[in-house]
Structure 1
Amino acid sequence: MPHLALYTFGVLKSPLADPAPLTRELHDSGEAIYRKISQHPGYLARAEAADGDRGTHFDLDWGPWGEFAVPIWYGKGRTVETTALAATLSLWTDLGSAFDAIYTGLHREALNRRYDWFEQATEHPLHVLWWVADGVIPTWQEGVSRLEHLHGHDSAPHAFTFRRSFDPDGTPTRIKGAGPQSDRVR
């Protein structure tokens, strides 16, 4: 049975290393959000660095998730002091489970704060979904490639959003509650 891959990418207003209270709030809330999402029905796995958080996203060993990559439009730093991004890559059993996990609970509360943390002047998509065969681990590069493809094209079975989604066989489908803001996932 195919699984759903979800890649999210956002550019932060300030680097992750910034000691300002808003940046600390985002960073500190992340672990609780990941813990809660990992308990959600339909959640399978997420990209986690094999060597913990020693270094920047770009320096870490992501194991089967591949080398960390970012979209071509990311123009901020790549060092510990300058990296200003939030990215996730995860696997789900189905669209409904992923949508529910993103738009309820702690993650929903974080989405309500996104304007505090993330740059908003963007015409780029903030998430992309696609189906993978059972046993396949998507890579960061694949997520970036599909996000960039989505930026240049409309939603299609190859790369789609919650609002304009597809079943594993490529048939368009709707998720109950997926309105216009659903394409703005962080």
Structure 2
Amino acid sequence: MPRLALYTFGALKAPLADPAPLVREFHDSSGGVYEQIGRHPGYVAHAEPADGERGTHFELDWREWGEFAVPAWYDKGRTAETIALAATLSVWTDLRPAFDAVYTGLHRVALNRRRDWFERTGHPSHVCWWIADGVIPTWQDGVSRLEHLHASGPAPYAFTFPHSFAPDGTPASAKVSG
């Protein structure tokens, strides 16, 4: 049975190391968001560094999720002092559970603050695509799909929640019902 891969990427207005209250608010809210999403029905897995390693995204061992990668347009730092990004890579049982996890609960509260924390780049902030059961997407897969989405628009190869496709390539809807 196919699984849904979801890659998210955003450029923060300030580096993660910035002690300003706004950056701290974003950073401090992340733990609860990840914890809640990890318990959401339909959640399968997300990219985590090996053995709880700490450091910048670029320095970590992401095991089967591959080497950390970012879109070509990201022009901010890559060091602990300058990195200014938020990225996730996850696997879900289906489109609807992923949509519900993103647009409800603590993540919804965080989304309501996205304009405070993230730059408007003109690029999509997320991309979805279907993978075979047992396949682990890589960071590079996510970057490639996000860049394809930006260049070509939504298609079965790379799509968004508002413009979704089923595993067979037919248009689908992820909207919350009633």
TM-score by length of 2: 0.97
SS at match of 1:58: helix
- How far 1:55 moved relative to its partner? 1.6
Aligned counterpart, 1:169: 168
Map 1:1-186 → 2, pairs under 5 A: 1-120=1-120, 122-177=121-176
Whole-angstrom CA distance in 2 between matches of 1:106 and 1:53: 25
Aligned counterpart, 1:183: none
- How far 1:177 moved relative to its partner? 4.1
RMSD: 1.1
Q: Deviations over 1:69-127 (max 9, x none)?
A: 0000000000000000000000000111000000001000000111111112x211110
Aligned counterpart, 1:184: none
Whole-angstrom CA distance in 2 between matches of 1:176 and 1:108: 14
Q: Where does the alignment leave 5 or more consecutive residues of structure 1 unmatched?
A: 179-186
CA contact (8 A) 2:89 2:142 kept: yes
CA contact (8 A) 2:36 2:106 kept: yes
Q: Deviations over 1:1-30 (max 9, x none)?
A: 010000000000000011111111111111
Amino acid across the alignment from 2:145: R
SS at match of 2:83: coil
Q: Where does the alignment leave 5 or more consecutive residues of structure 2 unmatched?
A: none
Q: What is the identity percentage for the equivalent residue pairs of Structure 1 and Structure 2?
A: 72
Where does structure 1 differ by over 6 angstroms across 4 or more consecutive aligned residues? none
CA contact (8 A) 1:8 1:89 kept: yes
SS at match of 1:108: helix
